[in-house]
A and B are shown apart, each in its own frame.
Chain A
Amino acid sequence: MKRLGKHAIFYAALLGSWSLLAALKIWPPYLFPTPKGVMEALYAGFQDHSFWIAIVVSMRRVVIGYAISVVAGTVLGLGVASNEFLEETMGGLLVSLQSLPSICWWPLALLWFGLNQNAILFVVFMGSLLSVTMAMEDGRKQMPKIYAMAGRNLGAHGFRLFWYVLLPASLPFIVSGLKQGWAFAWRSLITAEMLYMSLGLGQVLMMGRELNDMSQVIAVMILIIAIGYVVDGLVFKTIERRLQHQWGLTSAT
């Protein structure tokens, strides 16, 4: 309750000063929109379904791209973790590649896939692949060896050992990497959508720019933040909480 009160005060102050600044009319409304204008833009966007469509399209893209990168990252990460040669060579490459914003792949993606959805998916995929790979590699290394031995001892091997033992045993070590991968995937998607006009939240945002409608731009920004926050809170926080409960990590901290 106390926390809620603090948040209420903070956001009321933020909105208040924004309204005040807008009311002073230092800048024209098309440069500095009012909170009311943004609310109206949000309402209108949902009213004419354009925001709904954009959300569905964007979510679909990010989920597909992210899912592919999780599968590929898992294979790659486990490969790197289990092979000394790969670890020494590819491990370093992966770390250095992480400093490359995934949108840099955009020109290549356009050439390879053409100006279509696959090019966007590729950029999303590249955005989260490295985080996922490194998380898997790390998780595999940090996982206590006893679980693998116990699993083999109880008759698990091959895929069953991986699925029933290695994967759950390393989950606490990889979940933060998966989360980071998601964040990168989401940012990469919006960036790519802003470059390539074809539905999606990024495109709606750029449309606001074309129409000089800063209310719409800010409305879409708020949507992008909100979706990122909701996925983080619903999906990843739930997983983390469950893991902490299962592993008994809450009592330790």
Chain B
Amino acid sequence: MTPNVVPQPSFPDQRSLDHRSPARSGATRPKAILSPIRQRDVNGTPKVWLKNISLSYRVDNGTRLLALDNINLKVKPGEFLCIVGPSGCGKSTLLHLIAGLHQPSSGSLLVDDHKVGAPGTDRILIFQELGLFPWLKVGENVEFGMKMKGLSKAEREERVQYYLRLVHLSQFKDSYTHQLSGGMRQRVALARALATEPDVLLMDEPFAALDAQTRDLLHDELERIWAETGRTVIFVTHNVREAVRLGDRVAVLTFRPGRLKREYSVDLPRPRHLEDVTVAKSAREILDDLREEINKSLEEQYGLEAAR
């Protein structure tokens, strides 16, 4: 067990990705947005605190299924936390819960030490299916959360421009989402989430359906944007190597019911790459730990006597 998180390495300046990010040189950051919140470990208050959270729901035949079992998890401000687990372990449910879209059956969710139970624009979830609005143009999608927040038209315009540039989609402002590729849609969802300026960004297997090249590129961009904005990120994936590549910390969930099995702090320098030997090695370690849970999930799904 390694419950303590190793302090963040300072990395933004070591990056070698600048040639790909016109946002650094081109975009002028509008005032009052994106002030980097690097309040890591300021007073030790967790940004998000899951306190003895359990969640069960009724399935078709009337019995109750325990999806999450007594989860205790603290996420520090500015931390990049990855949650891994086999499919069906309740990872997505956990994110929906943090987003306020589900209520826990017991336990409580604290954000900045305040109990919350409803959706709020301080925590924005990027859904696995994205949930972009097809009746709105790309720019209008990005604008949506700000409109709901009641920002002025001028302010919204400014931010739409800024965030579209941040994800390299400025020229697609007036396109409809179905006209974009999968990777581009993914970036629209990211811009839409960032534009509401959430403290916490929740990402539910966002890159699972993408090809390897696009995914690599988006890893780089996400790392860059995270570094630039200093948001807290909680990132759910079933891909351990992706988790190690991105996270400061990796939490492993068990299969049904979802319990917190173990936490690893990832103490590798950034920027990282998926192919780094160190990343592969750490991933291997976690994967061995996860194997048992994956086998349980496979047995359940396919009735196999496991791929042992």
A interface residues with partner B (beta carbon < 8 Å): 146-147, 149-150, 152-157, 160, 164-165, 168-169, 171, 243, 245-248, 251
The 6 closest A-B pairs by CB, nearest first: A248-B178, A150-B131, A155-B148, A154-B145, A146-B131, A155-B121
Check if B101 sits within 8 Å of A247, measured CB to CB: no
Does B119 contact A155, Cβ atoms closer than 8 Å? yes
Given A160-B148, A168-B133: A155 and B176 interface contact (C-beta under 8 Å): no
CA distance A189 to B116 in the complex (A): 54
8 Å CB contact of A155 from B120, B127, B132, B134: B120
A149 touches B135 (CB 8 A): no
Cβ–Cβ contact B131 & A149, under 8 A = yes
Residues of B within 8 A of A243 (CB): 135
Please give, as numbers and ranges, the residues of chain A lying within 8 Å of B131 by CB-CB distance: 146-147, 149-150, 153
Contact partners of A157 in chain B: CB under 8 A: 119
* Given A156-B144, A164-B144, 5 further pairs, Cβ under 8 A: A147-B133, A149-B101, A150-B127, A160-B148, A245-B176
**Any A CB within 8 A of the CB of B179:** yes
> Is B192 close to A, CB under 8 A?
yes
User: 7 pairs across A/B with beta carbons < 8 Å?
Assistant: A146-B131, A153-B119, A164-B148, A168-B133, A168-B136, A169-B135, A245-B176
A149–B196 CA distance with the chains assembled, in angstroms: 16
A155-B145 contact given A149-B127, A150-B127, A247-B178, CB 8 Å threshold: yes
What is the CA–CA distance of A149 and B119 in the complex, to the nearest angstrom? Answer: 10
Report the nearest A residue to B128, measured CB to CB: A146
B-side contacts of A147, CB under 8 Å: 131, 133
B124 interface contact, C-beta 8 A = yes
Residue B58 lies at the interface, judged by CB distance under 8 Å to chain A: no
Tell me, in angstroms, the Cα distance from A153 to B135 when the chains sit together.
18
B129 at the interface (CB under 8 A from A): yes
Q: Are A154 and B101 in contact (CB under 8 A)?
A: no
Interface range for B: 20 to 34
**A165 CA to B147 CA in the complex, in Å?**
12
Q: Which secondary structure dominates chain A's binding surface?
A: helix
Are B127 and A146 closer than 8 Å at their CB atoms? yes
Query: In whole Å, how far is B97's beta carbon from the nearest beta carbon of chain A?
Result: 12
* Interface 1/0 per residue, B138-151 and A, CB below 8 Å: 00000011011100
Q: A246-B176, A247-B134 are in contact. Are A154 and B129 (CB under 8 A)?
A: no
Contact B133 A169 (CB under 8 A): yes
The complex places the Cα of A209 from the Cα of B131 at a distance, in Å, of: 58
Chain B hits for A155, CB < 8 A: 119-121, 145, 148-149, 196
Given contact pairs A146-B129, A245-B176, A153 touches B99 in the complex (Cβ within 8 A): yes
Q: Complex: how many Å from CA A160 to CA B134?
A: 17
| Beta-carbon contact of A153 and B124 below 8 Å | yes
Interface residue from B96, B134, B179, B192 paired with A154 (Cβ < 8 Å) = B192
CB pair A168 B121 closer than 8 Å: no
**Counting chain B CB atoms within 10 Å of each CB, which of A165, A171, A245 scores highest?**
A165
Q: Which A residues are CB-close (under 8 A) to B133?
A: 147, 150, 165, 168-169
CB distance from A1 to the nearest CB of B (A): 29
**Which partner residue on chain B sits nearest A146 by CB separation?**
B131
- Distance in angstroms from A247 CB to nearest chain B CB is 5
Would you give the shortest CB distance from A16 to chain B, in whole angstroms? 47
A154 touches B135 (CB 8 A): no
A116 to B147, CA, bound (A): 46
Provide the residues of chain A in CB contact with B145, threshold 8 Å.
Answer: 154-155
How far does the Cβ of A112 sit from chain B's closest Cβ, in whole Å?
Answer: 40
Contacts of A156 in B (CB 8 A): 144, 148
Verify A246–B134 contact, CB threshold 8 A. Answer: yes
Bound CA–CA A245/B177 (angstroms):
11
> Quick one: which of B127, B144, B148 has the most chain A CB within 10 A?
B148
Supposing A246-B134, A246-B135, A247-B135 touch, asked if A154 and B178 sit within 8 A by C-beta, the answer is: no
> Which residues of A have CB within 8 Å of B176?
245-248
Q: A147-B131, A168-B133, A246-B135 are in contact. Are A153 and B125 (CB under 8 A)?
A: yes
A3 to B69, CA, bound (A): 66
Measured between beta carbons, the chain A residues less than 8 angstroms from B125 are 153
Residue of A nearest to B180 (CB): A248
Contact A154 B148 (CB under 8 A): yes
Report yes or no: B135 in contact with A168, Cβ–Cβ below 8 A: yes
